[in-house]
Amino acid sequence: MASYRLGVDVGGTNTDLVLYDELTGAQLVEKLPTTPANPAVAILEGVDRFVARGVSARDIGFFAHGTTVTTNALLELKGVRVGSSSPKVTPE
């Protein structure tokens, strides 16, 4: 029976994972460097670390994923210009 919930946030620098045990209320946390070329690498490494700590991947019944990569790119005005011929906006 599934008894864990997994939440993942992929950021520009780090990927954070929190595993919640629904039966005991215990939480396990992992923080890994984000792999920009393939963000799934850090997620899978984090799950592997939970498995190494005795958690069966089959018991993870809920997975929530979020990311701040796009939000950070917008806030920092990074990335490429799209759909406009106007000059790039620079922060003041």
pLDDT at 74 over 90: no
pLDDT at 86 over 90: no
Residue 32 is predicted with a pLDDT of: 97
Residue 89 is predicted with a pLDDT of: 63
Residue predicted with more confidence, 1 or 3: 3
Please give the full DSSP string across 24-90, using - where no structure is assigned.
Answer: T--EEEEEEE--TT-THHHHHHHHHHHHHTT--GGGEEEEEEEE-HHHHHHHTT-S---S--SPPP-
Residue 27 is predicted with a pLDDT of: 97
Listed residue (53, 12, 2) closest to 30, CA to CA: 53
Domain ranges of the chain: 4-75
Write out the CATH class of domain 4-75. Answer: alpha beta
- Determine the Cα–Cα distance for residues 9 and 70; give it in Å rounded to an integer: 12
Express each pLDDT in 7-32 by its tens digit: 999 998 999 999 999 999 999 999 99
